[in-house]
Amino acid sequence: MTLVPDFDKYADGLVPTIVVDDKTKQVLMLAYMNAKSYQLSLETNQTWFWSRSRQELWHKGETSGNTQEIVAIQIDCDEDTLLVHVDPAGPACHTGHTSCFYRDIKTRSVGGK
């Protein structure tokens, strides 16, 4: 059985895609794939997404050189979210940070207080 994301589940056809560093397990970014970017990712073994702001396909690292080589792709139980394990060639965030999740809003202090 071949699992395929349910792109039709969302009106815009975009499936949330969580990208994680395969070695460190750090969450690098959240992006969105449509059927075309998903297919390109499978074919090229690098991450492709749909840019909601630019309304176009986006090859991660195309301009920065910070590409993401795909190690594995997992799908959730509802087949509407992807988890992509990658070997990154540089920072994931356009700010230059390793991960897009580098700012804390709340953290638990020592002792749980």
Residue 8 forms part of a structural domain: no
Residue range(s) defining the domain that contains residue 85: 27-102
Question: 76: annotated binding-site residue?
Answer: yes
Domain annotation covers residue 19: no
78 assigned ligand-binding residue: yes
Q: Is the pTM of this model over 0.75?
A: yes
Domain-embedded: residue 45: yes
- The band of 25, judged by pLDDT with boundaries at 50, 70 and 90, is very high
Is 86 part of any domain? yes
Q: What is the CATH number of the domain that holds 46?
A: 3.10.20.810
Mean pLDDT calculated for residue range 1-11: 90
Residue 22 annotated as binding site: no
Could you tell me if residue 11 is inside a domain?
no
Residue 111 lies in a domain: no
Q: Give the β-pairing of 15-21 and 27-33.
A: antiparallel
Rounded to an integer, what distance in angstroms lies between the CA atom of residue 10 and that of residue 8? 5
Any known ligand binding at 6? no
Q: 12: annotated binding-site residue?
A: no
Which has the higher per-residue pLDDT, 3 or 81? 81
